[in-house]
Amino acid sequence: MKIKELVSALERFAPLPLQDGFDNAGLQIGLTDAEATGALLCLDVTEAVLDEAIALGYNVVISHHPLIFKGYKSITGRDYVERCILKAIKNDIVVYAAHTNLDNAPGGVNFKIAEKIGLKNVRILEAKENALVKLTTFVPTAQAEDVRKALFDAGCGNIGNYDLCSYNMEGEGTFRAREGATPYCGAIGELHTEREVRIETI
């Protein structure tokens, strides 16, 4: 897996627009075109964490707290943050932070804490403004209108002073259901072609 694929997966689960205004979540150091040789998870990036990643041969460190919160005019190694930046760059280690975006994500840190302490009917107390996420799904043509209606009824499709917004493109989807599958259409072991609509909404 390429590092950029790992980053993409992280940001699908915890989109960066969900982070708080003070935060600096996301890719902090490094290039993402390389293959991931391993990822080390940590709460905070420290020199010891980077040393462990180097010893293990891992080229990705994923932290909860961002290493870099502010801009730097120079990087000379005068404090542990600068030393970590230099060490990561010298050793081709990508540093990625999933902080308040992970806290705020559905199924993320806050939801898991609520689940652990037994809270029921959990909801977001302070909704993020302008935190839009694109939803894309592929639906058989015959069910497209029902799915669009369900999406809109659930709150999708609102952009500014507009509602019921979506983009729709018709095409053909193919699949072959294997043993153990329960396909809505088509038969086990046979290639099936289905007219479908790609529905995109916010």
* Residue spans per domain, the chain: 3-104, 135-201
Q: Is the pLDDT of residue 4 over 90?
A: yes
Specify the pLDDT at position 36: 98
Give the C-alpha distances (Å, rounded to integers) separating 181 from 34, 173, 178, 190, 196: 35, 17, 6, 12, 20
Q: Is the pLDDT of residue 43 over 90?
A: yes
State what percent of residues in the chain have pLDDT above 90.
83
Summarize the confidence of residues 48-58 as an average pLDDT.
99
Q: pLDDT-derived band of residue 77, with 50, 70 and 90 as boundaries?
A: very high
Same fold, 3-104 and 135-201: no
Specify the pLDDT at position 130: 64
Q: pLDDT-derived band of residue 79, with 50, 70 and 90 as boundaries?
A: very high
Q: Is the pLDDT of residue 42 over 90?
A: yes
Summarize the confidence of residues 63-77 as an average pLDDT.
94
67 compared with 71, residue with greater pLDDT: 67
- Residues at the binding site are 64-65, 103
What are the tens digits of pLDDT across the range 155-180? 899 888 899 999 999 999 999 999 99
CA dihedral defined by 17, 20, 23, 24, rounded to 10 degrees?
0
**Residue 182: which residues within 8 A CB-CB, separation 6 or more?**
none
Specify the pLDDT at position 125: 77
Instruction: Out of 3.90.700.10, 3.40.462.10, 3.40.1390.30, 3.50.50.60, select the CATH number for domain 3-104.
Output: 3.40.1390.30
- Residues at the binding site for a divalent metal cation are 64-65, 103
Domain spanning 135-201, CATH architecture: 2-Layer Sandwich (3.30)
Q: What's the burial of 94, exposed, middle or buried (CB within 10 Å: 0-12/13-18/19+)?
A: buried
Q: pLDDT-derived band of residue 131, with 50, 70 and 90 as boundaries?
A: low
User: Helices (H), strands (E): how many in the chain?
Assistant: 6, 7
Specify the pLDDT at position 127: 67
Q: Is the pLDDT of residue 1 over 90?
A: yes
